[in-house]
Amino acid sequence: MGNPRKTALSILMKIDNDNAYSNITLNNAIKASDLDERDVSFACAIVYGVLERKITLDYIISKFIKTKLNKIQPDVLNILRMGVFQIAYMDKVPDSAAVNECVKLAKKRNLFSATGFINGVLRSVSRAEGNYQLPDKKADKLSYYSVYYSCPQDIISLWLNSYGEEITENILQNLSGRPPVYVRVNTLKVTAENLEKDFETCGVSASPTDIIEDALVIKDTGSIESLALYSFGYFHVQDLSSQLCCKVLNPVSGDKVYDFCSAPGGKAFTIAQRMDNNGVINAFDLYDHKLKLIEAGAERLGIDIIKVGLRDAVCTEPLEKADKVLCDVPCSGLGIIRRKPEIRYKKDTGIDTLPQLQYDILSSCSDFVKVGGTLVYSTCTLNKKENNNNADKFLQEHPNFAPVPIDLGDMVKRVIDEPANQLTLFPNPQGSDGFFISVFKKIK
């Protein structure tokens, strides 16, 4: 039987060393392990807990050592983080077990010279009983937010300047904890009502949402891909924000649709279902292996109107005009930190460099919208430079397009003051990820 702490440490080291995404690294490691379901849950809790709380954990560790953190061997530091997380945040794990298991883990990695150090630091943290003396909020608000919510100060400053303190603190409060899992019902094969019943039969808790039709939130899933309902093609996993984006595009049966930067294909799948699998969707991406993911997903779902194509989204090579064009552009990802917590620690998130690329993609793709057609620009980030500023600039420089007001009903309320054709969604425990949508119509 595998060791969940050993697995967790290996995952954390790979994420650090390879600059890898946590969700992909975690899924691959779990598949390759022989952990049972309980140990998988424990390993996941530690991995995501350490990633979500890294700044806080490092701050606590620094209070109990004389050396600088960057002088500590990386695997020793990650063992300390794992131990402090268990002591500070995992009530069901006795402090003594957290300390002893971390020492054992160090020995298994041949870190014998560090065992005394690890033991001493973790026992000191345990004796502190949660009294870690965080920065004073009144004296240094930025440092307090950074340590308390484990978020870099530059990102917090960006949000404070863009959205104000109340919204920023709400964003920070929703950075941690596992987000809800939403699925889009494949209406080509099953109704939402019947799929809900099918989930319950499989022991999976499922319930509809008032925010959008044909979406279910599911719990107690275990491995989603191992579910028979997944193999049957009855659903695909998709956050509410992406589903709302597809709704705003308003595809109808018989449309010709271009989906740029399409991989892994979730929006193309939802669009196809909204079109009753009638029409044409060209799903473009820059990498061939990503196109294969789209093709495999479409086949599983029984969708045959998606045609994949290798294409750079800024390419100006002519295409036939389309009824609907979706540009879900590469972005800094600040809206999905709770799904990929390592994003917040990346040295180059592209906050300052991406806006120009995004605008170039939007401008290029707009050439392929027919007169009377719809263009949707979207990101999964919370950064006005990437979002509102690009949308504003596009209208200023493209008089042949007009803004289209976004109205998703009373269940989706605007949080900030922005033009009617723009909508910023903020993360919350029961709702969507952070996301931005803007809609335009080609008028000439």
Which amino acids are annotated catalytic? 380
3-state secondary structure of 321: coil
Instruction: Write the CB contacts of 204 (distance below 8 Å, at least 6 apart in sequence).
Output: 218, 219, 220, 221, 227
Helix (H) or strand (E) run with residue 68 in it: none
In angstroms, rounded to a whole number, what is the distance separating the alpha carbons of residues 319 and 256?
Answer: 12
3-state secondary structure of 73: coil
Beta carbons within 10 angstroms of residue 293's beta carbon: 16
- DSSP string covering 198-223, please? HHHHTT-EEEE-SSSTTEEEEES-SS
In angstroms, rounded to a whole number, what is the distance separating the alpha carbons of residues 358 and 389?
Answer: 11
Which segments of 28-101 are extended strands (E)? Answer: none
Q: Which residue in this structure is represented by tokens 């000439």? A: 444
Q: Which residue in this structure is represented by tokens 């019943």? A: 197
Long-range CB contacts for residues 411-415, cutoff 8 Å, separation at least 24? 411/210, 411/211, 412/211, 412/244, 415/167
Nearest residue to 326 via CA among 263, 418, 381, 273: 263
In angstroms, rounded to a whole number, what is the distance separating the alpha carbons of residues 377 and 359?
Answer: 10
Backbone angles phi, psi at 348, to 5 degrees: -125, 95
Reply yes or no: is the peptide bond before residue 74 cis, omega within 30 of 0.
no
Angle at 260 between CA 257 and CA 261, to 5 degrees: 145
Three-class HEC string of 122-189: HHHHHHHCCCCCCCCCCCCHHHHHHHHHCCCHHHHHHHHHHHHHHHHHHHHHCCCCCCCEEEEECCCC
